[in-house]
Every structure is written in structure tokens, then in C-alpha cells.
Amino acid sequence: MRYTEFIDGAVALDSAQERELFRKLDAGAIADAVLEGYFVAAVPASETELRKISDDGAAARQVLWRYMLALVLTQARQAAVTYRCSVEDFIQAGCIGLGEAIDRYDERRGARFSTVAWTWIRRRIGEEAVRLSGARSRAVMREAAEVARVEEELTARWQRVPSSNAIAAQMGKDVMWVEKRRVECWEVETSFFEQMAVVHTCCDEPESGLISLLTGQERRIVEMRHGFHGEPMTITAVADKLGLSASNARRIEHRALARLRRHLQRVVAA
């Protein structure tokens, strides 16, 4: 089964649904431990009841994978264009990050799972990009791991992915130092693509999502740059296709993304 077939028809989850799924996931893990003899249930439960709880936990995990795999595909495709490597390598790395996010997530800390998952997916894809490019040193990887740890802490505290400026302020480092070790695969605003990827993949009519706010060249450039109708294209390829200079195409893209960010900020504020 292809990745796109697995996520086809997946429904976007709200925060309450995320919490319910993780409660089922935790209950399933406890039921598995009781069935295997690691724990004794505090409340008497039959084997049939425990297996039902375990099955519900497994089903919850599959729903979470279907829901979030769209973010893995979005980041992997962008990284493949940036580094000119196989998208499959980045998808595998992103799936590792998603699995870690599911195992590590604690809904009691307040952050949305989609926000936490985005951070872990990007981290593993970034590490894969470093590995494929051969630019690996122990010192840099230790420093990158420290930056990732601070990013994870701030994400949980603020319930959004922090900027490089915020991470630099927390660590007492220069912003450029942080950005070099953050191993970002591409320059995008997380708040935009985190929602855009889910809207585009999970809706029957993608035009009903955020992209419908754009028209003309702005919409065409964003769609081509970020793979709405095929593989993502570089800014140079987009410019050639539309008969623009690369600088003009980049300026139009930045203007379009700024428009979408302002819309999302108004939605969040409301």
C-alpha cells in the first residue's frame, strides 16, 4: 500500500479527539502489560475486557498515524527537492520521528500533538539530510541535539514551534549559531504548513482550505512550490514555468505566505 492510499480519507482531528486517542493508547499499553504479566490490574478485569482495551489502543495508534503521515510526506518532499535525494529516505526518517512523537507525547503538558509531532518529524528528516550530505561531526551533532532539546521544551511550554530567535535567547547563543545547528531542511512557517498539509490531504475539496484565500500568481506559485498537484518545484523551476525572474517569484511567494499567516493569526486570536 502506498503512503497516499493509507492516508486517503483521513479526517483532521481537533484537540479533544487527540486527547481521547492518547488516553486509549495509554490504556491499551497498560492492558498489554497486564496481559503479559508485568502488572496486576487494580480493578478486576477479564481477559476479554483487557484485549478489547488493547485493541482500542492499537486502533487509536493507527488513526494517529493516518492523521499525521501527511506532515511526514510534506516535509519529506520539500527535503528531497532541497537536497536532491530520494524522497523515500526522508519519508522513512520522518516516520521514525512520528513514531517517537507518538511514544513520547504527554497530553498533560498542554501542547497539541500535531505541534509536537511536527518538531520530531523535522528533527529526524534534518538529521537524515545531514547524513546524506556527509556533513557530520560529533561536536556539531551534540550541539544540534541540545538545540533540539530546547526546541522541544519550548514547544511544550508555548504550544507552538519556537523561532530560532526564541531558542537563541533561551540558550544564550547567537541566532546564526542556532540556525546552523537546527538542521532545518527548508525555510517555511510551521504554523502555516502544519495546517495546510492536513487541510489539503484530509479534505475532499482542497479549495475549501487555506489555499482558497489566494488567487492568481500567488496561488499558482504556492501550489507549485509545495506540491499541491504533484512534486514540489524549486523556485527557479517555478519562475521559468511562469515566465518570471527567480527573485520576483520568491517575492510573490513570501507575500502569499504572509497573507496566509495573518489569516491564521486572526483565526487563533478569535
pLDDT averaged per 10 residues in sequence order, the chain, 270 residues: 58 79 89 82 80 91 86 84 79 90 83 83 83 61 76 75 84 83 47 44 47 79 78 80 81 79 64
pLDDT attached to residue 184: 43
pLDDT attached to residue 56: 92
Distance CA 250, CA 252 (A): 5
The closest of 14, 122, 6, 116 to 65, measured between CA atoms, is 6
Residues 6+ apart with CB under 8 A from 112: 15, 18, 159
Instruction: Give me 213's grid cell.
Output: 484565500
Cβ atoms of 136 and 130 within 8 Å: the answer is yes
Instruction: Give me 194's grid cell.
Output: 502544519
pLDDT attached to residue 266: 66
Amino acid present at 35: L
pLDDT attached to residue 8: 57
CB crowding 223-247: b at 16 or more within 10 Å, else e: bbbbbeeeebbebeebbeeeebeee
Distance CA 97, CA 140 (A): 20
Set out the domains of the chain in order of their start, with CATH numbers. Answer: 3-204 (1.20.120.1810), 205-270 (1.10.10.10)
Distance CA 180, CA 151 (A): 14
Does the predicted model carry a pTM greater than 0.85? Answer: no
The closest of 229, 260, 225, 255 to 242, measured between CA atoms, is 225
Distance CA 77, CA 247 (A): 22
